[in-house]
Amino acid sequence: MAPGKKITARIKRTLPVRGPQAPTLSELMRWYCLNTNTHGCRRIVVSRGRLRRFIWILLTLSAVGLILWQCAELLLNYYSASVSVTVQFQKLPFPAVTICNINPYKYSSMKDYLSELDKETKKALETFYGFSEGKSKVRRSAGDWNETESHFFNQIPLLKFEDFSRTATDLRSGRKRKIEGSVFHKDSSIVNSGDSNDIIGFQLCDANNSSECALYTFSSGVNAIQEWYKLHYMNIMAQIPLETKEELSYSADDLLLTCFFDGLSCDKRHFTRFHHPLHGNCYTFNSGENGTILSTSTGGSEYGLQVVLYIDEADYNPFLVTSTGAKIIVHDQDEYPFIEDIGTEIETAAATSIGMHFTRSRKLSKPYSDCTETGADIPVENLYNKSYSLQICLHSCFQKAMVESCGCAQYTQPLPAGAEYCNYKKNPNWMYCYYRLHEKFVKEQLGCQQICKDACSFKEWALTTSIAQWPSIVSEDWMLRVLSWDKGQKINKLNKTDLANLMVFYKDLNERFISENPTNTIVILLSNFGGQLGLWMSCSVVCVIEIVEVFFIDSLSIVMRRQWQKAKKWWNDRKREGSGKHQVGDVERQGHDNPVCIDEDLPTFNTALRLPLPQESHLPRTPPPNYSTLRLETAFTEQLPDTLEAGQH
């Protein structure tokens, strides 16, 4: 090795390059491995022999892989939650209990509005099943109401289908006609035990395009007649004012016979009336509207709510409802009672005991779960004026889509602002539009199920129901007689099939609180990261900062500087070509013309080492200094006079 190269190599060993001053990435990595606190990287450089170096490379890479895997698991588990259950024994607030008669309106009061619909239904039963009640008088006190509705009964009659063909018989006129349109079998999950001739249904067509039709069939004649009846029934009820419907339904005096709560007597003043589109007048006990919520400090049936209900089975609508009794729902005072969805039916001539367990639940919102605190972040207007729930959101979303698509609101749900309920007179196309829209809703094509979210906080009462015969045979006579007197019927004794006994109570006063808590916190997450780094790489936070500095900041600095040098060189070469100057060869590039020195940074020892060695050529060079001129005696050849005199003395 030449003397110059030996000196260069010795200087490189004694003065290693540092950080971004390294000319290449390989030298930067070598400097990092020699100076880092992670032992594995250092062993890769200082190990002797290829086998040992390969083993250390394999171990280091394996440790890095394990660190990345464990840290990824820690990050994924960071957003997990643990469930804790707390049980407390304390005085509990009593929930709101909403009670409705299964029959929404007194049939005797509704006959004026339903006479034409009932007539068509009886005619269909007679034609299809041979059912006949004999001729009955139909009252016409509602004026031309029934004549107006009769026109729409002719447009949407009940149909009988033959062998699943496109030919159907009109049960009103007995005529056969060809049916066009898509077929939707509403009872696909029910196996029809009869032959194909038992299939009946009805056809709905777009009023604006008669070729667009949908055919709805049913395996059961009961289901077909009830569905057809409810379709026209909702159209009729949508045109009756709310005040009139409240008068046609049951009053608190009609429904409630006796009432006890917590061992004390209560009456209709403790109940709040609200009108439900499908169940008429319903009454809520302990609604909290007056600002007072009742509570109980003792469990058991004697300290809950006890009521005797008068059902009046004789005044039921025979085509609208097929069961007898009442429906109740236990809910919070701020919740809307969805009786049609989750209501519990109460039998007549029976004592129904409902024991409750109270549970409060609390879920973590984002990023732990996709729930909402108050529903304010859901782009759906709450039409129920109650606290947010998933059911409220779904019903409100469908009603909004109904108004936008059909131009009117569906009868069973609250009215949006500025909308009105659908009816034949103003919206002749609403039935077809409603059924097609409901089909999309069930198939989750409206987007409501994607928009609506569960509530993060909710209260739940788990119900346990038991039924006993009531009244007993031995007490039936006197009890019915006394209840008849209380009802004001001093002559006729009540029938036990018109009565229902209901008891709602806490089985115990244990309140369960189910909550979600974060499994990990920031402190635990950082501690776990530190443990993994120390276990696999003997590394600390300072080491992590060092890795970030070297592998990201310094490496990026070196790469960017290289690119800048290449771009500057290209620009200088282009300028020289444009000016026509002589291109300096590589041999002639020395001093400031050397590419190593083309840098805006101050020259360093490392850049100086990269200068090329002088080549054998006849180019003029600076001559070496004359070291003899540095001798001191040559500078003072003539001695001063004063020094001579001093020397003589």
Q: Give the residue, 617 or 207, on which the prediction is more confident.
A: 207
| Nearest residue to 317 (alpha-carbon basis) of 232, 428, 241 | 232
Does residue 394 register a pLDDT over 50? yes
Q: How confident is the prediction for the chain on average, in pLDDT?
A: 78
Q: Report helix angle 145-155 to 221-237, nearest 10.
A: 140
- pLDDT tens for each residue of 216-256: 777 777 888 888 898 889 889 988 999 999 999 999 999 99
Residue 325 makes CB contacts below 8 A (sequence gap 6+) with 102, 311, 345, 346, 347, 348, 500
- Please compute the mean of the pLDDT values over residues 470-485 and round it to a whole number: 83
Q: For residue 336, which amino acid is it?
A: Y
* pLDDT for residue 191: 33
* Percent of the chain residues topping a pLDDT of 90: 27
- Please compute the mean of the pLDDT values over residues 113-125 and round it to a whole number: 86
* Ranges 54-63, 171-180, 197-206, 538-547, most confident: 54-63
Lowest mean pLDDT among 99-108, 138-147, 304-313: 138-147
- pLDDT tens for each residue of 62-116: 878 877 887 787 777 766 666 666 666 678 899 999 999 999 999 999 988 998 8
How far is 334 from 338, CA to CA, in rounded Å?
Answer: 13
- Please compute the mean of the pLDDT values over residues 567-593 and round it to a whole number: 66
- Give 35-41 contacts, CB < 8 A, sequence gap 24+: 36/543, 36/546, 36/550, 37/538, 37/539, 37/540, 37/542, 37/543, 37/546, 38/537, 38/538, 38/539, 38/543, 39/538, 40/537
Q: Give the residue, 523 or 450, on which the prediction is more confident.
A: 450
Does residue 365 register a pLDDT over 60? yes
Does residue 10 register a pLDDT over 80? no
Does residue 327 register a pLDDT over 60? yes
* pLDDT for residue 302: 87
Lowest mean pLDDT among 202-206, 216-220, 307-311, 631-635: 631-635
Q: Is the dihedral of CA 55, 56, 57, 61 positive or negative?
A: positive
Q: Which domains does the chain have, with CATH numbers?
A: 24-80+534-555 (no CATH), 92-104+251-363+458-515 (2.60.470.10), 107-131+152-238 (no CATH), 371-455 (1.10.287.820)
Q: Is the dihedral of CA 476, 479, 484, 487 positive or negative?
A: negative
* pLDDT for residue 226: 87
Does residue 610 register a pLDDT over 80? no
How far is 368 from 517, CA to CA, in rounded Å?
Answer: 10
- Please compute the mean of the pLDDT values over residues 435-445 and round it to a whole number: 90
* pLDDT for residue 207: 72
Does residue 150 register a pLDDT over 80? no
- Please compute the mean of the pLDDT values over residues 454-461 and round it to a whole number: 92
How far is 606 from 15, CA to CA, in rounded Å?
Answer: 9
Q: Give the residue, 530 or 512, on which the prediction is more confident.
A: 512
How far is 145 from 133, CA to CA, in rounded Å?
Answer: 24
- pLDDT tens for each residue of 256-279: 999 999 889 998 899 999 999 899
* Percent of the chain residues topping a pLDDT of 70: 71
- Relative to beta strand 457-469, strand 350-362 is antiparallel
Does residue 603 register a pLDDT over 60? no
* pLDDT for residue 19: 56
Q: Give the residue, 584 or 489, on which the prediction is more confident.
A: 489
575 phi/psi in degrees, rounded to 5: -65, -40
Contact 172, 154 (CB under 8 A): yes
- pLDDT tens for each residue of 281-294: 999 999 988 888 99
Lowest mean pLDDT among 98-107, 346-355, 419-428, 552-561: 552-561
